[in-house]
Amino acid sequence: MIKLIAVCGSARKQGNTTKMLHQVIEGAKSAGAETEFVNLFDLNYKDCISCYACKLKNRASFGHCMLNDDLKPLLQRIEQSDVIVLGSPIYYGNLSGHMRSFTDRLLFQYLDYGAKGRGPKPKNFKTALIVTMNGNNETYVKRGIRDTMVNFSEMMSHTLGSCELLTFTNTVLFDDYSKYVYQMPDIKEKSSRVEKIPPEDLKKAFDLGFRLIKS
């Protein structure tokens, strides 16, 4: 059975990123996949310490991160999966810090440094990157966030296997905007939105999950 693992880089367990990843999981399940959801905020782990053990010739550490913390069993489970979906909120124009720390560890162990065909990547995974942000599509492009995410998804394609990028802009931040200091122009629309996440966006995430398994 094809296994899809979804990794979330938002602490908000009812947040936009979590909900989108669960839609992906539902889509994948409906296509017959085995699935797993992991929230990085449930794990204790370090950043990459650039020890380069994963690049040492003729060593068991080649192609594997040698740090011994909560990411070790997760990285092992990822290696046994076929499809990897990463989800992150946009924080200051980039992935969340937790997601960056995680992807440094996940991606770098498989980086081939030009050794085409002899790199440490165990297989060609199918992958996807989902990002959610408060700003609108215009901000996504104008602030260079789209370029940053396209670059990152290309690195995922190179290091893990073909990556599809799915971006959700214009997310709702709060259940009740009246409790918070927020005076952005979109407050009226967002505070009165009945469906916090538009159904068409949920469907896009569901369809992605289905597609990743079926195609």
Q: Does 92 bind ligand FMN (CB under 6 A)?
A: yes
Helix axes 145-159, 97-108, angle to 10 degrees: 30
Token output for 111:
């980086």
Stretch that binds ligand FMN, among 64-72, 76-84, 90-98, 148-156 (CB under 6 A): 90-98
Stretch that binds ligand FMN, among 48-56, 91-99, 101-109, 115-123 (CB under 6 A): 91-99
Whether the Cβ atoms of residue 131 and residue 171 lie closer than 8 Å to each other: no
Stretch that binds ligand FMN, among 11-19, 60-68, 70-78, 191-199 (CB under 6 A): 11-19
Binding mask 130-149 toward ligand FMN (x if CB under 6 A, else -) reads: --xxxx---x----------
Stretch that binds ligand FMN, among 13-21, 38-46, 115-123, 196-204 (CB under 6 A): 13-21
Could you tell me the smallest distance in angstroms from the CB atom of residue 24 to ligand FMN? 14
Contact with ligand FMN (CB under 6 A) among 15, 119, 161, 198 = 15
**Considering only residues 154-193, where is the footprint of ligand FMN by CB under 6 A?**
171, 173
Token output for 68:
């011994």
Stretch that binds ligand FMN, among 14-22, 64-72, 118-126, 191-199 (CB under 6 A): 14-22
Could you tell me the smallest distance in angstroms from the CB atom of residue 188 to ligand FMN? 17
Among all chains, which residue has been given the structure tokens 């394609």? 157
Could you tell me the smallest distance in angstroms from the CB atom of residue 10 to ligand FMN? 3
SS3 per residue for the chain: CCEEEEEECCCCCCCHHHHHHHHHHHHHHHCCCEEEEEEHHHCCCCCCCCCCHHHCCCCCCCCCCCCCCCHHHHHHHHHCCCEEEEEEECECCECCHHHHHHHHHHHHCCCCCCCCCCCCCCCCCEEEEEEECCCCHHHHHHCCHHHHHHHHHHHHHHHCCCEEEEEECCCCCCCCHHHCCCCCCCHHHHHCCCCCCCHHHHHHHHHHHHHHHHC
Contact with ligand FMN (CB under 6 A) among 4, 6, 7, 16 = 16
Contact with ligand FMN (CB under 6 A) among 25, 89, 125, 208 = 89
* Chain contacts with ligand FMN (rule: CB under 6 A): 10, 12, 15-18, 89-93, 132-135, 139, 171, 173
